[in-house]
Amino acid sequence: MKLILFGPPGVGKGTQAKLLVEEFNCKHISTGDLLREAVKNKTPLGLKAKTYMDAGNLVPDEVVIGLIEEVLAADDTRENFILDGFPRTVPQAEALDELFKKLNITLDYVLSLEVENDEIVRRLSQRRLCRSCGRIYILSQIGNNVKCPACGGEIYQRDDDKPEAVRRRLEVYQQQTKPLLDYYRKSGKLVPINGMHEIGYVHKLILDQLYKNYKG
Ligand code: AMP
Transcribe 47-86 into DSSP letters: HHHHHHHHTTPPPPHHHHHHHHHHHHTSTTTTTSEEEES-
Amino acid identity at 62: E
Cβ–ligand 1 contact at 31 (below 6 Å): yes
Q: Which residue has the CA at smallest separation from atom 11 of ligand 1?
A: 58
Residue 214 reports pLDDT greater than 80:
no
Query: What is the predicted pLDDT for the residue at 199?
Result: 94
Percent of the chain at pLDDT > 70 equals 98
Q: Which atom number of ligand 1 is nearest to the Cα of residue 31?
A: 16
Q: Is the CB of 160 under 6 A from ligand 1?
A: yes
Distance CA 6, CA 173 (A): 11
For the segment 29-68, what is each residue's pLDDT rounded down to a tens digit? 999 999 999 999 999 999 999 999 999 999 999 999 999 9
Over residues 115-138, the mean pLDDT reads: 92
H/E element, 110: strand 109-114
pLDDT for the residue 61: 97
pLDDT band per the 50, 70, 90 thresholds, residue 144 = confident
* Residue 187 pLDDT > 80: yes
Whether 186 shows a pLDDT value over 80: the answer reads yes
Instruction: Write b or e for each residue in 81-99: b if 16 or more Cβ atoms lie within 10 A of its Cβ, otherwise e.
Output: bbbbbbbbbeebbebbeeb
Strand positions, DSSP E, 131-189? 136-138, 155-156
User: Is there an atom of ligand 1 within 6 Å of 67 CB?
Assistant: no
How much is the average pLDDT of 177-205?
96
Give the Å distance between the CA of 215 and the centre of ligand 1. Answer: 31
pLDDT value for 215 = 56
Tell how far the Cα of 47 is from the centroid of ligand 1, in angstroms: 14
**pLDDT classification of 74: cutoffs 50, 70, 90:** confident
CA angle 170, 176, 179 (to 5 degrees): 105
Nearest to 34, CA basis, from 18, 19, 49 = 49
How would you list the strands of the sheet with 136-138, edge to edge? 136-138, 127-130, 155-156
| Catalytic machinery residues | 13, 88, 127, 158, 169
Q: How far apart are the CA of 18 and the centre of ligand 1, in A?
A: 17
Q: Which of 11, 59, 157 to mutate to test the pocket of ligand 1 (most atoms within 8 A of CB)?
A: 59
Q: Which one is the CATH code of 2-116+177-214: 3.40.190.10, 3.40.50.2020, 3.10.20.30, 3.40.50.300?
A: 3.40.50.300
Indicate which atom in ligand 1 lies nearest the CA of residue 13: 3
CA dist 211 and 214 (Å) reads 5
Q: pLDDT at position 20, please?
A: 97
Beta carbon of 35 within 6 Å of any ligand 1 atom: yes
Give the per-residue pLDDT at 207: 97
Helix, strand, coil percentages, rounded to 5, for the chain:
50, 15, 30
- Tell me what pLDDT residue 145 has: 83
pLDDT at 75: 78
Report the DSSP pairing between strands 155-156 and 127-130: antiparallel
